[in-house]
Structure 1
Amino acid sequence: MTDRATRYPGSAGAMDGGTLPVMPTRELPEAPRLRKIIGPGVVIAAVGIGTGEYLLHPFITSRVGLTFLWAAAIGLGLQYFINTEVARYTLATGETILTGFLRLWRGWAPLFIAMTVIPFAWPAWMTSSAQMLTFPLGGGNVQWIAIGGLVLIGAVLTFSPVVYKTVEKLEMFKIIMVLLFVAFAVVLIGWQPWTDLPHATVQGIGRLPQEVPVGVLMSALVFAGGGGAVNLAVSNWARDKGWGMGIHAPRVVSPVTGEEEAGTATGYQFEITDTSMSRWQQWWKSVRIEQFVTFYLVTLVSIVVFALLAYKIIGVGGYTGPADLGFIKFEGTVLGEQYGEWLKIVFWTIGAVSLVFANLVVVDLVARITSNILATTYLRDHTTWTEAKTYMAAVWVMVGLGAGILALGLDQPLVLIAIAALLNGLVMVVYCVLIIRVNGALDHRIGISRPRRIVLGVASVAYAAFTVYTIVTWIQS
Structure 2
Amino acid sequence: MSTSPEQTPKWKVIGPGLVVAATGVGSADMVATLVAGSNYGYMLLWAVVLGVILKIVLVEGAGRYTVATGRTIFEGWRSLGRWPVWYFAPYIVIWGFVYAASAMSSTALPLVALFGGETWMWAVAMGLAGFVLIWFGKYRFFERITAALVGLMFVTIVILAIIAAPNVFQVLTGLVPLLPDAPNGIFYTLALAGGVGGTITLAAYGYWLREKGWDQPRFLRVMRIDNTVAYVVTGIFVISMLIVGVEVVQAAGVALASGDQGLLELDAVLRERYGEFIGVWFLVGFWAAGFSSVLGVWNGVSLMFADFMGNITGKGSDHADSRGHGKWFRVYVLWLTFPPMLMLFLDQPIFLVLLYGFLGALFMPFLAITLLPILNTDRVPTEFRNRWHHNVALGITAVLFIVLGVYQAWNAIATVIAG
Deviates most, 51-60 or 78-87: 51-60
Structure 1 residue matching 2:386: 3-state secondary structure: coil
Residues 1:231 and 2:199 aligned together: no
Q: CA deviation at 1:29?
A: 6.4
Residues 1:242 and 2:213 aligned together: yes
Distance, in Å, in 2 between the alignment partners of 1:211 and 1:429 is 20
Q: CA deviation at 1:386?
A: 5.6
Q: CA deviation at 1:68?
A: 2.3
State percent identity of aligned pairs. Answer: 20
Q: CA deviation at 1:191?
A: 4.1
Normalised to the residue count of structure 1, the TM-score between the two structures is 0.76
From the superposition, tell whether residues 103 and 466 of structure 1 become closer, same or farther in structure 2 (CA, over 3 Å).
closer
Q: CA deviation at 1:458?
A: 1.7
Q: Which letter does structure 1 place at the counterpart of 2:406?
A: V
From the superposition, tell whether residues 178 and 209 of structure 1 become closer, same or farther in structure 2 (CA, over 3 Å).
farther
Distance, in Å, in 1 between the alignment partners of 2:409 and 2:215 is 40
From the superposition, tell whether residues 401 and 113 of structure 1 become closer, same or farther in structure 2 (CA, over 3 Å).
farther
Distance, in Å, in 2 between the alignment partners of 1:106 and 1:45 is 29
Counterparts of residues 121-270 of structure 1 (less than 5 Å): 121-122=97-98, 123-137=101-115, 139-160=116-137, 162=138, 164-192=139-167, 194-202=168-176, 204=178, 206-207=179-180, 209-210=182-183, 220-227=192-199, 229-245=200-216
Q: Which letter does structure 2 place at the counterpart of 1:132?
A: P
Choose the corresponding residue for 1:73, options 25, 49, 56: 49
Distance, in Å, in 2 between the alignment partners of 1:133 and 1:225 is 23
Distance, in Å, in 2 between the alignment partners of 1:121 and 1:458 is 31
Distance, in Å, in 1 between the alignment partners of 2:24 and 2:170 is 24
Q: Is the 8 A contact 1:52 1:303 kept in 2?
A: no
Paired residue for 2:67? 91
Q: CA deviation at 1:321?
A: 4.8
Q: Which letter does structure 2 place at the counterpart of 1:457?
A: G
Residues 1:455 and 2:393 aligned together: yes
Paired residue for 1:349? 284
Distance, in Å, in 2 between the alignment partners of 1:124 and 1:235 is 25
Q: Is the 8 A contact 1:222 1:424 kept in 2?
A: no
Paired residue for 1:424? 360
Structure 1 residue matching 2:375: 3-state secondary structure: helix
From the superposition, tell whether residues 403 and 379 of structure 1 become closer, same or farther in structure 2 (CA, over 3 Å).
farther
Paired residue for 1:304? 239
Normalised to the residue count of structure 2, the TM-score between the two structures is 0.86
Q: Which letter does structure 2 place at the counterpart of 1:226?
A: G
Q: Which letter does structure 2 place at the counterpart of 1:237?
A: W
Distance, in Å, in 1 between the alignment partners of 2:184 and 2:54 is 25
Deviation readout 1:200-239 (Å, 9 max, x if unpaired): 44253x448549897x867643330233x21110000011
Paired residue for 2:308? 373
Distance, in Å, in 1 between the alignment partners of 2:222 and 2:42 is 33
From the superposition, tell whether residues 74 and 99 of structure 1 become closer, same or farther in structure 2 (CA, over 3 Å).
same
Distance, in Å, in 2 between the alignment partners of 1:286 and 1:385 is 28
From the superposition, tell whether residues 316 and 402 of structure 1 become closer, same or farther in structure 2 (CA, over 3 Å).
farther
Q: Which letter does structure 2 place at the counterpart of 1:67?
A: M
Q: CA deviation at 1:397?
A: 0.9
Paired residue for 1:23? none
Distance, in Å, in 2 between the alignment partners of 1:208 and 1:469 is 19
Distance, in Å, in 1 between the alignment partners of 2:355 and 2:251 is 27
Aligned CA RMSD, in angstroms, stands at 3.1
Paired residue for 1:464? 402
From the superposition, tell whether residues 421 and 212 of structure 1 become closer, same or farther in structure 2 (CA, over 3 Å).
farther
Q: CA deviation at 1:124?
A: 2.2
Q: CA deviation at 1:69?
A: 2.6
Q: CA deviation at 1:297?
A: 0.8
Paired residue for 1:284? 220
From the superposition, tell whether residues 309 and 383 of structure 1 become closer, same or farther in structure 2 (CA, over 3 Å).
closer
Counterparts of residues 308-319 of structure 1 (less than 5 Å): 308-315=243-250, 318-319=253-254
Distance, in Å, in 2 between the alignment partners of 1:471 and 1:91 is 33
Q: Is the 8 A contact 1:62 1:315 kept in 2?
A: yes
Q: Which letter does structure 2 place at the counterpart of 1:126?
A: M
Aligned residues between the structures: 404
Paired residue for 1:276? none
From the superposition, tell whether residues 424 and 473 of structure 1 become closer, same or farther in structure 2 (CA, over 3 Å).
closer
Q: CA deviation at 1:91?
A: 0.9
Q: Which letter does structure 2 place at the counterpart of 1:134?
A: V
Distance, in Å, in 1 between the alignment partners of 2:224 and 2:291 is 28
Unaligned runs of 5+ in 1: 1-27, 246-279
Q: Is the 8 A contact 1:222 1:421 kept in 2?
A: no
Distance, in Å, in 2 between the alignment partners of 1:290 and 1:175 is 15
Q: Which letter does structure 2 place at the counterpart of 1:239?
A: R
Q: CA deviation at 1:446?
A: 1.9
From the superposition, tell whether residues 211 and 427 of structure 1 become closer, same or farther in structure 2 (CA, over 3 Å).
closer
Q: Which letter does structure 2 place at the counterpart of 1:198?
A: L
Q: Is the 8 A contact 1:44 1:226 kept in 2?
A: no
Deviation readout 1:104-145 (Å, 9 max, x if unpaired): 3355335323222322322322211212322222x4322232
From the superposition, tell whether residues 450 and 94 of structure 1 become closer, same or farther in structure 2 (CA, over 3 Å).
same
Unaligned runs of 5+ in 2: none
Distance, in Å, in 1 between the alignment partners of 2:333 and 2:342 is 14
Paired residue for 1:44? 20
Choose the corresponding residue for 1:397, options 335, 348, 354: 335
Residues 1:329 and 2:254 aligned together: no
Paired residue for 2:40? 64
Distance, in Å, in 2 between the alignment partners of 1:220 and 1:124 is 20
Q: Is the 8 A contact 1:120 1:420 kept in 2?
A: no
Q: CA deviation at 1:92?
A: 1.3
Deviation readout 1:18-47 (Å, 9 max, x if unpaired): xxxxxxxxxx96554243332111101212
From the superposition, tell whether residues 314 and 107 of structure 1 become closer, same or farther in structure 2 (CA, over 3 Å).
closer
Paired residue for 1:17? none
Q: Is the 8 A contact 1:55 1:325 kept in 2?
A: yes
Q: CA deviation at 1:426?
A: 0.3
Distance, in Å, in 1 between the alignment partners of 2:73 and 2:320 is 25
Q: Is the 8 A contact 1:218 1:466 kept in 2?
A: yes
